[in-house]
A and B are shown apart, each in its own frame.
Chain A
Amino acid sequence: MTRPILEAQNLRVRYPSGTLTDRLLGRGPRHVTVLPDVSLSVEAGQTLGLIGESGSGKTTLGRAAIGLAPISGGSIRVGDATATSEDAPEWAGIRRRTSMMFQDAVASLDPRMTLGTSVTEPLAIAGGFSGNRRDKAAELLGLVGLSPDFADRYPHQISGGQARRVTVARALALEPDLVIADEPTAGLDLSVQGELLNLLGELQSRLGVSFLFITHNLSVARHVTNRIAIMYLGRIVEEAPTETIFSAPEHPYTRALIGAREATGGGGLIEGDVPSLTRRPEGCEFRTRCPLATDLCAAKAPALREIAPGHTASCHYAGQPAGVSHPEPAANRISP
């Protein structure tokens, strides 16, 4: 296997918290650590799905991968460039070969800029483009199935699905190696969601671009990703090939997410809410909601370990045959 296109190693991201005076007086926590220690990699030409609920840190991880989050430890490598802080000079190079699609497609387009100017903006920033910008805009819009006259329109004049396509066109302007797509189907109707996903798949097979596909929707991820990483409270709790995640999930949280997708009313799945980032539970951070939690889970945090080749999970009880020392059989669905 060749070297992964994107590699995050022991990445730590924390945001300053509290007011200036609070921090000067040493009151309260000075930082909120969103990502304590994350490692992940995206293989060239492949799609890695990053799955989690709100507050899981999946968007932060996506932004950190392009230098838009305060990195306080670890590193991000894209291609041959490695960056270890938010203002590292390497980002300029990384941003030329990586692009980002934002959750809110309409808001990610400048309301006072024509779409033609928007899609070709990466070229203007990178410099060195000598061709006709109008022709290039028409070409990029054509790539995503939009007619050239969209170049003269403004973001508020188009539909959500069309705005999505425009952001895809912009993301591909510099022919990047990697696209970070943050909830690319958010706000799309089911009937057009498939079109967008098919378009991304087609572009991947044609241009060989890799995707970091951030979503909360496992059903979507199942069809469009090669591998899936599940995040909880800023940590990756399980990572495996997509089929394995669905056929043999090892972490109770993964099972709960899969269960939530198909549960019929009545039986509760997992109870409670995600804990606050400033009050992370001791031991295993999922134990406060875990139906299988034992004393061991409260005492010791499980490490992310390899359970099978290419399959990692951070649970003390992962990888054990059903019913051995496991309080519950490793069924596909959890019912307390």
Chain B
Amino acid sequence: MSAPVLALDDVSIRYPGAPAAAVRNVSFEIGTGETLGIVGESGSGKSTLAAAMMGLLPSGSTVTGGLRFEGRDLFGQMTERELRQLRGRDIATIAQDPFTALNPVMKIGRQLDIFQHWYHDRPRAERKARILKMLEQVRLSDPGVRMQQYPHQLSGGILQRVSIAAALLAEPKLLIADEPTTALDATTEAQILGIMAEAKETLRGATVFITHDMSVVERLCDRIAVLYAGELVETGTVAEVLKDPRHPYTKALLECDPARIEEPTSELPTIGGTVPALDDRPAGCIFEPRCPSAVAHCRAEAPKRHDLGPRQSAACHLVTP
């Protein structure tokens, strides 16, 4: 792997006034051309992490450890102005809600033109042709007509495709997609996931997919990072982790997914208990209170990351390479 686009090294993030850090000691890297899926349930810290990657944490938040974009620390070495430029040029996002992601009083074509800022010295006709081509690539019917329309005239599925086109036009070094299909219907979601899979060919940079849905990770990602209650519990390639999850939480989460259960059953698997509150965390392993295979040692000491091969690791006392 070449030098990573984004590297997190022991990152902890604490919101102002919060009793404890919402994200603790998270480390991973994303290289050029890679797609990383960050999976977690409520309270996992995945949205916090996404905000941090864009340098958009609320003021007063404290970040420790290193969060480096192309070697430069977002929270140590960059001014607010540099961060803004970075977000405009190198980092693009696809939001969960396409209705609020686009400017309601600007035509689609004009908005898309703003995104392809690399090409602003080119002639108008060339820029327009590029947008048209991109809208065709996201399989939008009548791209010429769409360019003349306003966001409120289009459906959620079409707008999400416009958002994808915008992200592709920007040619970002890092694309962050935050639950881009959660708000969509099943058939629309399938369409969008198909388009995203095709778009991977066009994307030269790195992509981060934030989701709670394992099947999205399975369809689109190369690597996976599983978060639980603000901690990274397991990471590895999608093929490895989904076939052979090593952390008990990853295992349980995969078992809970009704789409993965082959035979119809009336007794669905669950994970008992709830995510610990920020100010009420266990002393040992964060997952110990809900873990089906916890032993006495788990309560006493928090596990370290165990490497399980070149790219897979899990934070659990019970895993052995």
Contacts and interface: CB of A to CB of B under 8 A. Distances in A.
A201 B72 CA distance: 54
A278 to B, nearest CB: 15
Interface stretch (A171-179, A255-263, A301-309): A255-263
Interface string B252-280: 11001111010011111111101000000
B196 A194 contact: no
A271 interface: yes
A136 interface: no
Contact of B259 (A192, A194, A261, A270): A261
Given A194-B270, A198-B270, A242 B264 contact: yes
A243 B264 CA distance: 9
B212 A190 contact: yes
B185 A53 contact: yes
A270 B257 CA distance: 25
Contact of A269 (B190, B218, B253, B256): B190
A223 B266 contact: yes
A274 B219 CA distance: 24
B196 A265 contact: yes
Contact of A257 (B141, B187, B252, B269): B187
A191 B39 CA distance: 13
A195 B258 CA distance: 12
B139 A195 contact: no
B266 A216 contact: no
Interface string A159-200: 111000000000000000000000000000111111101100
A271 B138 CA distance: 12
B47 interface: no
Interface residues of B, number: 40
Contacts of B141: 272
Most B C-beta atoms less than 10 A away, residue of A161, A270, A273 = A273
A274 B158 CA distance: 12
Contacts of B139: 268, 271
Interface string A195-211: 10110010000000000
B267 A198 contact: yes
A264 interface: yes
B252 A191 contact: yes
B185 A270 contact: no
Interface string A206-243: 00000000001111101110000000000000000011
A320 B218 CA distance: 35
Interface residues of A, number: 43
Question: Which of B42, B218, B258 counts the most chain A CB atoms within 10 A?
Answer: B258
A194 B187 contact: no
A267 interface: yes
Contact of B191 (A161, A189, A268): A268
Nearest to B220: A265
A220 B155 CA distance: 26
Contacts of A19: none
A17 interface: no
A204 B118 CA distance: 61
A261 B190 CA distance: 8
B193 to A, nearest CB: 6
Contacts of B240: none
Contacts of A53: 185-188
B62 to A, nearest CB: 26
A228 B211 CA distance: 28
Contacts of A269: 187, 190-191, 194
A198 B268 contact: yes
Contact of A273 (B158, B266, B274): B158
Nearest to B42: A189
A159 B252 CA distance: 21
A78 B198 CA distance: 50
A260 B261 contact: no
B197 interface: yes
B90 interface: no
A266 interface: yes
8 tightest A-B contacts by CB? A265-B197, A194-B268, A194-B270, A260-B190, A53-B185, A191-B271, A219-B259, A189-B41
Given A261-B259, A265-B219, 13 more contacts: A161-B274, A189-B212, A190-B41, A190-B212, A191-B252, A191-B271, A217-B186, A260-B189, A263-B194, A264-B197, A266-B197, A268-B194, A273-B188
30 contacts: A53-B185, A53-B187, A160-B42, A190-B253, A192-B271, A192-B274, A193-B256, A193-B258, A194-B256, A194-B269, A194-B270, A195-B270, A216-B185, A216-B186, A217-B186, A222-B258, A223-B268, A260-B190, A261-B259, A263-B190, A263-B219, A264-B197, A264-B219, A265-B193, A265-B194, A265-B196, A265-B219, A266-B194, A268-B139, A269-B190
